[in-house]
Amino acid sequence: MNLSPLQKARYEYVPKLPGMLRNGISEICVKDGEATQSVADQDKIKALFPNTYGKNEITFAKGANTSEAKKQVVGVILSGGQAPGGHNVISGLYDALKSTDKNNVLLGFKGGPSGLIDDDYVEFDDAFIDAYRNTGGFDIIGSGRTKLETKEQFAIVTEVAKKHGLTAIVIIGGDDSNTNAAVLAEYMAANNTGVQVIGCPKTIDGDLKNEDIEASFGFDTATKTYSELIGNIERDANSAKKYWHFIKVMGRSASHVALECALETQPNICLIGEEVAAKKMSLSQIASQIADSVEKRGNAGNNFGVAIIPEGIVEFVPEFSKLIAEINELLAGENTEKFNALPDWNAKYDFIEKGLTKESMAVFAILPQLIQQQLFLERDPHGNVQVSLIESEKLLSQLVADELAKRKAAGTYKGKFGAQHHFFGYEGRCAFPSNFDADYCYSLGYNAFMLIQYGYTGYLSKVSNLSAPAEQWVAGGMPITKMMNIERRNGEDKPVIRKALVELDGKPFKYFEANRDKWAVETAFTYPGAIQYYGPSEVCDLTTRTLALEKG
């Protein structure tokens, strides 16, 4: 196999572990913390998880290992979208497992949770693992979005576990995947299977975090990758001086990626969905806010700029959410077939106009035709609008162009406006992990085995104090149920991990808020450049600006 020089070098990189995990497995003991309870709906969550609820948080420390010595056969799966560092979670898990007893076994189930259902697996050995150390992607075993949530599925997984003699299953995933891990752990405990279940926090969106989980893995690498690209575009914009670049970034349910990229690159505009929702901003108000920046810069001779837009921005706009809800109702049942059978867009537009309220039709009418039609593209499995298919960056640039045309007619705007559009998603999901993510993920995997060895189940592998050097990181675990609440999903009450949104009173947003008016008018761009893997620690081991601000 032909390898690039960077690939060769990264395979040989030795990830840094927290200090207490460097002592050797035989010198790691457990310190009990306080008992836990769920973030909300405590009685309901406790009733659903009688065997795994309310357990203590724990940390690992230097001391004699008192765990029971036994052969471990562990299964691991990657679940959901890719995130840089997943391979290192598996590498850390493998190394801890083998350093305890070379006869221990790690099985990788292929294609995500469905691999457990289909009993499709590979047994890892040194050569297999060594080919994936410190690399991006999930191609070591693949991933998938099958949910483990029914008793029928759990029964099959139990039989597969029994066949292989599994003592534990590690699920590497985001909030939904770790919710599934908690439910599977409860099932395994209730049925006395002897199989432990441990989760690891993954998502580049950054919305799997709380007072305990300071960062989900992959967020660091993905935002650094996007920020490099945004910085390159800013440099181009400042060179050509003729385009406004509307850049959509990942973040369907939360705006952490957009905020971090803004802190890294200082664009003229960055929309934060949580603020849009809190202020109940309309599409017109958002367009007017962007147009203010365009006008001031244009009138000063600066007909260029950069605006960062989170992927899920339209879902935060109250009037747009109401419009989508009405469209979902309008096309319920047989109406979808009736709508699709109409001969042309004019006939479909009449159908829509008759079915929407006056308020929602007023919102629909201001949308560019391209966006109107995107709202009626292929539905999701529940018959709802697929908001991710809406090109919100094009929607907003068109609304801004319409607003600027009015201002030009009124004589207040004297500049020129041309737009370019970008969406950064896949570009960051499988990048070579930064040193931070390489170290963090390896530590999460190593730590996951310590949780297994000490008999914990329904726990999330937890590494904290992440803004400090790795030597000072703190390793331990927390019950997944601590992060859960009850939410309405598809007409049913379901226990789920609460998504972490951008906190408008948090230090990262407050720093952004204090500077954005200046950035909106001035050309204050910063250029982060490519991720650095080798060189001074202050360049190579940087955490995100978000984490640095949160931890002071």
Q: What angle is formed at CA 514 by the lines to CA 517 and CA 295, rounded to 5 degrees?
A: 5
Rounded CA-CA distance 482/495 in Å is 11
Tokens found for residue 312: 């899920």
Catalytic residues: 205
- The answer to whether residues 457 and 185 touch, using CB atoms and an 8 Å cutoff, is yes
Q: Helix or strand or coil: residue 498?
A: coil
Q: How many CB atoms lie within 10 A of CB 518?
A: 10
**Is 367 strand, coil or helix?**
coil
Token pair 């890892």 in the structure block, residue? 124
| Max intra-chain CA distance, the chain | 80
> Given this chain, do its domains 19-33+67-218+433-476 and 219-429+506-550 carry the same CATH topology?
yes
Distances (CA, A) of 245 to 158, 396, 435, 513, 515: 52, 11, 30, 21, 20
Structural contact between residues 82 and 143, judged by C-beta atoms closer than 8 angstroms = yes
The confidence score (pLDDT) of residue 333 equals 80
Spatial distance between the Cα atoms of 458 and 182, rounded to a whole number of angstroms = 5
Alpha carbons within 13 A on the beta-carbon side of 290: 33
Amino acid 1: pLDDT = 64
Rounded Cα distance between 26 and 100, Å, is 8
Q: Is 19-33+67-218+433-476 CATH 3.40.50.450? A: yes
Instruction: Kindly state the tokens that stand for 537.
Output: 């620690």
Listed by start position, the domains of the chain span 19-33+67-218+433-476, 219-429+506-550
The 3-state DSSP class for residue 501 equals coil
- The residues, any chain, with a CB within 8 Å of residue 445's CB and separated by 6 or more, are 88, 89, 90, 91, 92, 93, 94, 95, 96, 170, 200, 461
| 219-429+506-550: CATH class | alpha beta
Which helix (H) or strand (E) element contains residue 99? helix 86-100
Q: Which of 524, 440, 510, 537 is nearest to 91 (CA)?
A: 440
Which pTM was predicted?
0.95
Predicted confidence at residue 332, as pLDDT, reads 82
What are the per-10-residue average pLDDT scores of the chain (552 residues)?
87 94 90 95 97 97 92 97 97 97 97 97 97 96 92 96 98 95 97 98 93 94 98 98 97 95 98 97 96 98 98 93 90 86 94 95 92 81 71 95 97 97 96 97 98 98 96 97 89 89 97 98 97 94 95 84
